[in-house]
Each structure stands twice: as structure tokens, then as C-alpha cells.
């Protein structure tokens, strides 16, 4: 293997690893690097350093490609643009294909369902209850249809405020498979526990908490994990 070809493999490999690190894990809103370097939280702000290492790796990869003899007489800006516009999207597509193959071949109806987007908002807080607006956009990678229900597990810190560990969604949902979107748009009112005031909820910084959604039917179950920002 020639020196240039070997170098190209090495530096493209570094770029690919940087993309693997920031790629969202199945059934999780975090990427691998976010588990390795978790957000640093202050009183009312958060410092997220997880993207620093992949960014450095991307810089090393592009810089290494620019130094190869193959590209000695080529514009470094042009090489950078090609990597960002062509190479990285192709690598991202490869990861998407790998995830699709993995999820579609799982012998579990519920684990084949992943989320595309999750949005949780507190729309109102009164002296008696809290109203949550929950929107889930799910994708089922299997070919088969299935029915399921959803149970939302509250963060540990919230069990004190509401005196419960989870909330069952009343509706039953249907998946038609084949990556068709499943939209769940739900408004839930949760009664506050005795002795808890609206100020307790205001001060809880709930938007940093982790929520788990269990998808289940009479055959299988799985959990989707959503980490607050």
C-alpha cells in the first residue's frame, strides 16, 4: 500500500470516527461522546464540551489530507469543502444504513422503533397540577405492523413533586412499519403531591432531567431515553 493511500485511509478514518462519536445512539438522544464527556451544569446554564474532541479530530483529518502528496498542488479550501459537502454526508449516510439494518433485524417489535425527535414542555403550572405537552416523532424500521402503548417514567427528582414514578398514556398507538412516521402529540395534567407548591417545580430545573419512554405491548417492550439539554 502506497504512502499516500495509507495516509488517506488513516485521515479519512479519523474523520469517520469523529462522526461515529457524535452520531445519536439508537433509542437515545445522546451520542457516544456525550456519555463520555457529559454536560457541565451551573446554576442556570450548561457547558457542553462533548463536541470539542470530534471537532479536533475533524481538523486533524482534514489537515492530514491536505498534507498528502496527492493534494500538494490542490487548494486546501477546496479539499475542506469536498470533505464537508461530499465526504461527511456520505459517511453519515453509511451510519444511517447501518442503523437501519441493525434496527430492522432485531427480533423485538418495540426495539425496532426509534425516535426522530422528542419535545417536552411545561405549558402551565398551578397550585394543584402541572400540564405537560409531549410530542414524540417515532420511526419503526421493521416491515410489520404493531400496536403498542407508551409509559413515561418521570425523573427521580420529580417523583417527590408528583408522588408517582410514571405516567401511562391512555391511547394505544399503531405502527405500520417501513420507516413511516408515528406522531404522538399528548397533553397531560399531573397533580402535585401534598405539600408541594408551584415554586418547587419552577426551581427544579426540569429541562435538564432525563425522561424514559417505555413502548410496550403484550409481546415486547423497549425504552427510549431523552436527556434534557
Each residue's pLDDT expressed in tens, for the chain with a length of 229 residues: 577 788 889 999 999 999 999 999 999 999 999 999 988 877 677 778 889 999 999 999 999 999 888 888 888 899 999 999 999 999 999 999 999 999 988 888 888 999 888 888 888 888 888 898 999 999 999 888 889 999 999 888 787 888 788 999 988 998 887 788 899 999 988 888 888 877 777 777 676 788 999 999 988 899 999 987 6
**Same domain as 223, residue 190:** yes
In degrees rounded to 5, what are phi and psi of residue 79? -60, -45
pTM of the predicted model as reported, rounded to 2 decimal places: 0.85
Domain end point (choices 56, 80, 104): 104
Domain end point (choices 72, 104, 136): 104
**Same domain as 155, residue 74:** no
CA distances from 183 to 28, 98, 154, 173, 228 (A): 17, 24, 21, 9, 20
Query: Total structural domains in the chain?
Result: 2
Report yes or no: 113 and 139 within 8 Å, Cβ to Cβ.
yes
Domain that holds residue 170: 113-227
CA distances from 54 to 7, 65, 139, 210 (A): 19, 16, 27, 24
Residue with cell 412499519: 177
**Same domain as 74, residue 8:** yes
**Same domain as 188, residue 89:** no
* CA 26/CA 24 separation, integer angstroms: 7
**Same domain as 191, residue 222:** yes
- Write out the three cell numbers for 82: 469536498
- Helix, coil or strand: residue 19: helix
Domain end point (choices 70, 104, 138): 104
**DSSP tally for the chain: helices H, then strands E:** 7, 10
* Closest to 22 measured CA to CA, from 54, 46, 61, 56: 54
In degrees rounded to 5, what are phi and psi of residue 118? -135, 135
Amino acid at each position: 500500500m502506497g504512502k499516500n493511500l495509507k495516509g488517506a485511509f488513516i485521515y479519512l478514518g479519523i474523520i469517520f470516527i469523529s462522526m461515529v462519536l457524535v452520531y445519536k445512539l439508537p433509542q437515545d438522544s445522546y451520542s457516544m461522546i456525550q456519555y463520555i464527556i457529559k454536560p457541565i451544569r451551573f446554576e442556570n446554564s450548561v457547558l457542553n464540551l462533548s463536541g470539542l474532541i470530534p471537532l479536533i479530530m475533524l481538523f486533524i483529518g482534514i489537515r492530514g489530507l491536505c498534507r498528502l502528496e496527492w493534494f500538494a498542488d490542490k487548494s486546501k479550501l477546496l479539499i475542506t469543502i469536498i470533505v464537508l459537502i461530499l465526504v461527511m454526508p456520505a459517511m453519515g449516510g453509511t451510519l444511517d444504513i447501518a442503523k437501519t439494518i441493525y434496527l430492522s433485524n432485531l427480533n423485538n417489535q418495540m426495539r425496532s422503533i426509534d425516535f426522530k425527535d422528542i419535545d417536552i414542555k411545561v405549558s402551565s403550572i398551578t397550585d394543584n397540577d402541572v400540564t405537560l405537552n409531549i410530542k414524540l416523532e417515532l420511526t419503526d424500521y421493521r416491515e410489520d405492523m404493531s400496536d403498542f402503548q407508551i409509559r413515561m417514567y418521570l425523573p427521580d427528582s420529580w417523583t417527590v413533586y408528583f408522588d408517582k414514578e410514571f405516567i401511562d398514556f391512555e391511547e394505544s398507538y399503531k405502527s405500520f412499519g417501513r420507516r413511516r412516521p408515528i406522531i404522538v402529540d399528548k397533553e397531560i395534567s399531573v397533580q402535585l403531591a401534598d405539600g408541594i407548591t408551584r415554586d418547587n417545580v419552577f426551581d427544579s430545573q426540569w429541562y435538564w432531567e432525563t425522561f424514559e419512554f417505555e413502548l410496550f405491548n403484550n409481546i415486547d417492550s423497549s425504552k427510549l431515553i431523552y436527556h434534557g439539554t
